[in-house]
Amino acid sequence: MTVSLPLVFVLGVIAWTAIKFLGVRMWVAVVIALFGFWLSHTFLAPAIETGTRTGVGVVDGTGK
């Protein structure tokens, strides 16, 4: 069975959990999200994408 969830939903659940149970302030979560969007438009974006794909491959068991 394959379940397909949007990444925004998964990240939202993680952020809500961090705010609710770990005591992370809302403004910190917003700053982290904005920094992520900014970082995706820099020269580091290809390295981040490759690392993310490799990590997903390891978790899925499709990685080498």
Give the per-residue SS3 of 17-63: HHHHHCCCCHHHHHHHHHHHHHHCCCCCHHHHHHHHHHHHHHHHCCC
- Asked whether the whole model's pTM tops 0.85, one would answer no
pLDDT value at 5 more than 70 = yes
Mention every residue, 6+ apart, whose C-beta is less than 8 A from residue 23: none
Structure tokens at 17: 């959990």
CA atoms within 13 A on the CB side of 26: 0
Domain range annotation of the chain: 23-51
Distance CA 56, CA 23 (A): 28
pLDDT value at 47 more than 80 = yes
> What is the model's pLDDT at position 39?
86
> Which of 4 and 51 is assigned the larger pLDDT?
51
pLDDT digits 0-9 by tens, 16-32: 999 999 999 999 988 98
